[in-house]
Amino acid sequence: MQSGWSSIDELRRVQQARLVELANRSRVFVSHYSALSLPEFAPDEDPEKGIAKILSAFPVLEKAVYRDDPRSFIASDIPSKRLIRGRTGGTTGSALPLWYTPEALAEEYATVWRLRRQVGIDLYDPHFSFGGQILVPVKQSRPPFWRRNAWTGQILFSLYHMTERNLPAYIDAFHALPACYVQGYPSSFHLLGSAMIDAGRPLPVGKLKAVLTSSESLLAFQREVIEEAFASPIFDRYGTSEFAVSMTGCSFGRLHVDMEFGIVEVEVEEETADYVRGPLLVTGLANDATPFIRYRVGDVGTRSKRTCECGRPGENFLDVDGRIEDYVVTPDGRWVGRLDHIFKGQFDVVEAQVVQDSVEAIEVRVVPRTGFDSRAEALLVKEIRLRLGDEIRIDVRRVDVIQRENNGKYRAVKSVVGRNVE
Ligand SMILES: [Zn+2]
């Protein structure tokens, strides 16, 4: 709990010690890495230098390399009966097998609970949860669209019944049932939050201590609506099923790297006096069963060069994108991400999605509010043109719902030409 507030130097010492151990074990017991004929690694007086030196001995690990032979990443010094079989996340049906130990899982939970304890949450506090589970038959048309897990004080809500017709029942439940925090996908909270604001029924101040989001990128326009509707601050979390990285949010909206858990490198594509931005390479210090070292995880992040105002030392990120986002590709060949910013301030739109099937055009699907008239549409197109230029064709289509993916997740941008390689 306390180590999150250690000085950056102490955190780097912890990282270096764990990395030395991981690198030496991998060199001997993990066939993928033994093929690299790595030297024995030793710590350095200066932990930052030591970490850089060790990492530089490892080539960047691409997902495709792991996909080709995942078993070559299993550490042979861990008895197979201790390995738990998992799967990597994958939004396009490309989930890969993964193995981990109970200790790695426990460390992951430690990062989750460190955040919860910071905001005053206790283990059995009542809460609402929005995950991808199928809880209620899809055909069911009457509430309740939720189930209670009495053991942990959790009420789980179905993501698959959140239609305009059913949302009033969700709002009733949010007001009536006990909870001091909510956890789940930001897209679901945004959908519900919009309906609460439309109905003039935001939650009373003080009901919730925190909204904890994870699994999807928390988009700027979602944050505004959710904080208003739920009358609570949002704390986002970024993690991966590979147990290779963990970042936890603070009240200033930053994501702090849980440095004891993993090392995050940024392949710098953009640099200013304030930040560096680019694809992330992550090294999981807790995943002892299938070590991922310098793993190009497929996400892009912006690391601040300044300490966060909340006072927590260590590395912090302004944002991490691309968790499930695609890019839009323009006719002149530019890859443009972070299109969600277009919808920030577009309060006449409940939800939106950009779909691209070819480089010539995009379709913008919007679930309109009553105020979404031709003027609002023209303004929206103008905002998009500012980012994508005049060449691309933009079709705006009004829809009742934005279709979710098979795992229940929402994707702000779906492009077959600008797809993130998984
Ligand atoms: Zn902070």
pLDDT digits over 303-312, tens only? 999 999 999 9
For residue 173, which phi and psi values (nearest 5 degrees)?
-65, -40
d(CA 357, CA 416) in angstroms, rounded, equals 6
316 CA → ligand 1 middle, Å: 7
Residues with a beta carbon under 5 angstroms from ion ligand 1: 250, 252, 254, 308, 310
What rounded mean pLDDT belongs to the chain? Answer: 89
Tell me the CA–centroid distance for residue 262 and ligand 1, in Å: 18
Distance 218 CA to ligand 1 centre (A): 16
Q: For residue range 133-170, what is the model confidence (pLDDT) as tens digits?
A: 778 887 788 999 999 998 889 999 988 788 888 999 99
Q: Ligand 1 centre and the CA of 281: distance in Å? A: 22
| Integer Cα distance of 154 and 299 in angstroms | 31
Expressed in angstroms and rounded, the spacing between residue 242 Cα and the centre of ligand 1 is 25
| Cα torsion through 219, 224, 230, 235, rounded to 10 | 50
pLDDT band at residue 195 using 50, 70 and 90 as cut-offs: very high
Hey, which residues does 396 pair with through a beta bridge?
364
| pLDDT confidence band for 329 (50 / 70 / 90) | confident
What share of the chain in percent tops pLDDT 90? Answer: 63
8 Å CB contact between 160 and 185: no
pLDDT of residue 89: 61
CA of 248 to the centre of ligand 1 (A): 9
| Residue in this structure with the two tokens 């897990």, named with its chain if needed | 149
Alpha carbon of 320 to ligand 1 centroid (Å): 15
Token digits for 383?
A: 């905002």
Q: Of 109, 96, 51, nearest to 290 (Cα)?
A: 96
Q: How much distance in Å is there from the Cα of 419 to the middle of ligand 1?
A: 31
Nearest to 173, CA basis, from 199, 139, 195, 144: 144
Q: What tens digit of pLDDT does each residue of 107-126 get?
A: 999 999 999 999 999 999 99
Choose the most confident range, by mean pLDDT, from 188-192, 245-249, 375-379, 403-407.
245-249
Domain annotation for the chain: domains and CATH numbers: 2-113+237-321 (3.40.50.12780), 120-232 (no CATH), 328-415 (3.30.300.30)
C-alpha span between 189 and 325 (Å, rounded) = 18
